[in-house]
Structure 1
Amino acid sequence: MKNALFSTLILLWFIGGYGCKSTSTVTPPTPVVPTDTVGKFKNPILPVGPDPWVAQRDGFYYVMHTTGNTIRIYKTRSMSRLGSVRAVTVWTPPVTGPNSRNIWAPELHSVNGKWYVYYTADDGADRNHRMFVLENEAADPTTGTWVDRGSLALPDNKWAIDGTLLNLNSQLYFAWSGWDTDLGGAQYIYIAKLTNPYTVAAGPRVRLSAPDYSWEKQGFGVNEGPEFLVNGNKVFLVYSASYCATDLYALGQLSASTTSDLLNTASWTKSATPVFGPYASGSTYGVGHNGFFKSPDGTENWIIYHANPAPGQGCGDFRSIRMQPFSYNTDGTPNFGTPDPATNYIKRPAGE
């Protein structure tokens, strides 16, 4: 009995000791912290959308992009949910003529209670690309009748694309990308005054920017997609630089005082480095052709732009629409930060 009892005690001691030793060496599992996706979104907000543009009025956003053969408008109250909206085709080009083919970079602007669309088109030959204007009196640009105001007769009648409008101090300005001659080559940013939304004032076109820096000459020298941004007493012209077929497509910037003569090149100062892009890790390559908008509650500034999901995808329909917030530096210049990778979650605009 003593031997049996002793053996039992030894066995119990062994089991208990082994159990304690085993428990002490087990590493507790790492807690799984779920990703907070409430009130957040991921880019892209639209899987196909080269050359995006957004206009904002009466609580709605109106978004456009290059389709090549029509002009379409997306209407939404929530930019981060753009992918759930069906586009409305508001204009189809004529079968033939100077504005029948290659319709690029449409932009929607509200002037004096009417809507205007500025778009690029040609007759099938790229050398004949020019700017054209549509007009609509309806309060909602996805409704009503669009009237063809014809070609915007820009000074010198040269190749022109990517036109945009600025209404500043009761004066309309039009900026675009163009060639110096009819023979192609480098692209420059030009500006002219308008007497009304579809008529250019007398006088020559003024060249504001040329591809001067190496980051503007990747592929070949390109300055295109100009977009105006006004903050306080400063006006900025943010443009796309380098050839869109390269992954080094990026945004450059010119700045001037709102009280200066905007047709005087000396009024403008050019940034020596890109202000956004050219790319980020995680499915964001060839960043460019942007626009700007406010959050629904008016407290936040956002940039909209296109990018490719992988390197080497060029100027086609791989380009998708992205957006992210930006801020202003103490000197009033915009701080766009860096392009967000598509893997990041971004807080939805305030007020959505």
Structure 2
Amino acid sequence: MDNTLQYNNPIIEQRADPWVYKHEDGYYYFTGSVPEYDRIEVRRAKTIEGLRDAEPVTVWRKFETGPLSANIWAPEIHYIDSKWYVYFAAARTTETRDGLFDHRMFALECDAANPLEGNWTEKGQVKSKWETFCLDATSFEHRGVRYYVWAQKDPDIEGNSNLYIAEMENPWTLKEKQVMISTPEYDWEKIGFYVNEGAAVIKRNGKIFMTFSGSATDFNYCMGLLYADEDADLMNPDSWKKLDHPVFQTSEKTGQYGPGHNSFTVSEDGETDVLIYHGRNYKEIEGDPLYDPNRHTRAQVITWDEDGFPVFGEPAPDA
């Protein structure tokens, strides 16, 4: 592990909810929310910093009306069973509202070797227990089982979103059982909004670690950490433990505000774990933070403590 490795931030300006996946072909694939919230882009490069100047390819655009017509948020690109999938959230526009907090989850599929060149097909809504606000889906495999984790509003629970897990029938269909593994309970998860969202998974040191983000999307936004033993039943909520403090948060010292909604990748040599996240370099925002475009994609090295837990440190200053 190279603890001296540093990246020149920001990696990509005005791309929030960043997802970086290093594929077996040696390329890093990137997608994230664009400021217009109207399309899904994918780009690739041989290095993490190379993503900065890589040409984005629009693989899908929102519809004019209907459930896929507003606020296209937080796409993630995954490679499952030799096909590419993008999970994303979308809302509907009506005459009275812009679809805010009316999201549902959807999936796209591409069978080309290079997802920037292939055709993407809609696999429809990824349906869960309720027809309520839901978003920020991610997926991971553990011991031959494919899991899906997402944020959703439970009609019977106060707040905006909790984290749920389910096994998958296929890459766009959930098995019937879903369980809640986290709900906002600490003060740092409940500033502005009661939020647990933006989950990402990394497996290391006999454990499954799951980061997530909490609170409003301004400078209060921060990352928390869940973990489970690799031998545990991941569908048992008791298997998941939550740290009582944020693991990554605003740093006045480094001038980074509201870091969160992360993904994980590895360094170019494959030896070092890298955190990919978004954040702003100023604190005060005019209007709704969701419509401030300057959440930039950033990267920095993760270290590990003697107990095998990730150490995120402070968000690094801009280069």
* TM-score, reference length from structure 1: 0.82
Counterpart pick for 2:203 among 218, 230, 235: 230
Aligned to 1:109: 78
SS at match of 2:127: coil
Aligned to 1:261: 233
Contact 1:106 1:120 in 2 (8 A): yes
CA distance in 2, matches of 1:70, 1:335: 34
Counterpart pick for 1:309 among 242, 261, 281: 281
Aligned to 1:18: none
Report the AA paired with residue 216 of structure 1. Answer: E
Counterpart pick for 1:88 among 57, 76, 88: 57
Higher helix proportion (structure 1 or 2): 1
Identity %: 37
Q: Max radius of gyration: which structure?
A: 1
Report the AA paired with residue 103 of structure 1. Answer: I
Report the AA paired with residue 194 of structure 2. Answer: G
CA distance in 2, matches of 1:40, 1:324: 6
SS at match of 1:155: coil
CA distance in 1, matches of 2:236, 2:69: 35
SS at match of 2:29: strand
CA distance in 1, matches of 2:173, 2:152: 18
Structure ranking higher on relative contact order (CA contacts 8 Å, 6+ apart): 2
Aligned to 1:6: none
Contact 1:251 1:276 in 2 (8 A): yes
Counterpart pick for 2:306 among 303, 306, 330: 330
SS at match of 2:130: helix
- 2:26 is the counterpart of 1:59: yes
* C-alpha displacement of 1:127: 4.4
Report the AA paired with residue 31 of structure 2. Answer: M
- 2:197 is the counterpart of 1:221: no
Contact 1:127 1:182 in 2 (8 A): no
The CA deviation string for residues 298-352 of structure 1, in whole angstroms up to 9 with x for no partner, is 1111001001110023332111111110111222211111111114xxxxxxxxx
Contact 1:280 1:338 in 2 (8 A): no
SS at match of 1:128: coil
CA RMSD of aligned residues (A): 1.7
Deviates further, 55-64 or 90-99 = 90-99
Counterparts in 2 of 1:41 and 1:196: CA distance versus 1, 3 Å: closer
Q: Which runs of 5 or more structure 1 residues have no equivalent in the other structure?
A: 1-38, 344-352
Segments of 4+ moved more than 4 angstroms: none
Aligned to 2:221: 249
Q: Mapping of 1:333-352 within 5 angstroms?
A: 333-343=309-319
CA distance in 2, matches of 1:56, 1:151: 26
Q: Mapping of 1:6-85 within 5 angstroms?
A: 41-57=7-23, 58-67=25-34, 68-85=37-54
CA distance in 2, matches of 1:176, 1:279: 27
- 2:179 is the counterpart of 1:206: yes
Contact 2:167 2:175 in 1 (8 A): yes
Aligned to 1:193: 167
Contact 1:127 1:184 in 2 (8 A): no
Q: Which runs of 5 or more structure 2 residues have no equivalent in the other structure?
A: 94-98
CA distance in 1, matches of 2:63, 2:114: 24
* C-alpha displacement of 1:278: 2.8
* C-alpha displacement of 1:188: 1.0
Aligned to 1:150: 124
Counterparts in 2 of 1:107 and 1:182: CA distance versus 1, 3 Å: farther
Deviates further, 98-107 or 271-280 = 271-280
CA distance in 2, matches of 1:312, 1:187: 25
Aligned to 1:30: none
CA distance in 2, matches of 1:40, 1:270: 29
CA distance in 2, matches of 1:126, 1:306: 20
Report the AA paired with residue 297 of structure 1. Answer: D
Aligned to 1:287: 259
Contact 1:280 1:341 in 2 (8 A): no
SS at match of 1:156: coil
CA distance in 2, matches of 1:179, 1:61: 33
CA distance in 1, matches of 2:270, 2:43: 20
Number of residue pairs the alignment of both structures matches: 303
Aligned to 1:135: 109
Contact 2:48 2:268 in 1 (8 A): no
Counterparts in 2 of 1:131 and 1:225: CA distance versus 1, 3 Å: same
* C-alpha displacement of 1:97: 1.8
CA distance in 1, matches of 2:301, 2:55: 24
